[in-house]
Amino acid sequence: MCYDRYAVMDPALVEEDRRSTTSFFESQPLFFDGTRRTVSLSVWLYDTELIFRTSHIVERLQVSLASRCLVADARLWWMTWGERALPERTWAHFRTLVIARYGPVPEEGVDEPYRDPEIYRDMYHERYYVFVADWHAYPQESMGYYCRRFQEAMLPHIPQDIPSPGMQALVILRNGLPLPIRQLTPMPAADMTVGHMIEYILGAEVIVHAMQADAHVVEPEAPAGGIGEPEPVYEPEPAYEPEPVYEPEPEYEPGPVYPEDPMPADPVQEAEDDGYDADEDMDAPEDPPVIVISSDDEDEEEEPEHEPGFGG
């Protein structure tokens, strides 16, 4: 039931709304961010309904309080599309609309007008990207078979509602090529079609084969049993070359032994050996000095010197 937000409300209703809002958020409700997981959505719906019952929230406030618990992607969806698509502001219609938007599996009883087409487009894109990952891991054989398989198995799975689906097809086709052929294939352009890209790929394959033939490169052949990895090619081992023989080094031969040079003679030691004692020579008295007296002084006698003070 829709109501005019600008209409004058009964003060009793205003007080009841204030009490209900306070009681609802004091119960610490969960928040829903738009994650497409059955457990998250089911737990949020159950917890919200439980708070409605325990807090005695009136029905005219349930949608407003529940929408305040939407965050992130869920809040953006509610502001841009969900609030306008809701026919009546009742919890039953709100619950059905949220399940149709974020439920991984559509619930029974959901009417087709409330079913959001984005959820099916997202699931379709998810299968498409899984197919792309498997396609890039596929072992290619010849480029003709590769291009034919792309047109038959891959091209129909490219969604047409994504930005530039033709450019996306060309990018996937080029990224799955072997490196030598990818280097000779031009980048996708706006006016290029899948047929043009296939012509470039087949021409690049011819150039690569010609270059390999000129270089005499022999590629391993694929097994005859079907598609698979080629068997490895083992090169012959080089001929055995004996290791060089090294002659042993000659043994060490000592040189001639020469007599040691005699030490120079010590004169002091030789004197001691001859019986000379240097200490005795030092203790011997020196020869008295020779005094020469002239003849004129022989008759003169020396007068004794008298010390002063003793008379005479």
Cα dihedral: 132, 138, 142, 148 (round 10): -40
Contacts of 194 (CB under 8 A, 6+ apart): 150, 151, 155, 166, 169, 170, 173
List, for the chain, all residue ranges whose pLDDT scores fall below the cut of 50.
1-3, 106-114, 225-227, 310, 312
pLDDT at position 288: 61
Q: Which two tokens stand for residue 38?
A: 């059955």
Can you give the pTM of this predicted structure? 0.34
Three-state DSSP state, 70:
strand
Residue 44's pLDDT is 87
Q: How far apart (Å, rounded) are the C-alpha atoms in residues 123 and 115?
A: 14
Q: Are 125 and 159 in contact (CB under 8 A)?
A: yes
What is the pLDDT at residue 179? 81
Q: What is the pLDDT of residues 42-73, one digit of tens each?
A: 888 888 888 888 888 888 888 888 888 888 88
Position 277 scores a pLDDT of: 60
DSSP state of 89: -
Q: Is 16 exposed, middle or buried (0-12, 13-18, 19+ CB in 10 A)?
A: middle
Exposed, middle or buried: residue 60 (CB in 10 Å: 0-12, 13-18, 19+)?
middle
CB 66, CB 94: distance < 8 Å: yes
Separation CA 33–CA 44 (nearest Å): 10
Structure tokens at 112: 């087709």
Helical pair 11-26 and 38-55, crossing angle rounded to 10 deg: 130
Closest to 77 (Cα-Cα) out of 31, 34, 46: 34
Tokens of 155: 């091209």
Give the pLDDT score at 112.
Answer: 47
How far the first Cα of the chain sits from its last, in Å, is 174
pLDDT of residue 292: 58
Report d(CA 309, CA 246) in Å as an integer.
117
Contacts of 86 (CB under 8 A, 6+ apart): 63, 93, 94, 97
Nearest to 21 by CA among 70, 72, 56, 71: 56
In the DSSP assignment, the letter for residue 289 is: P
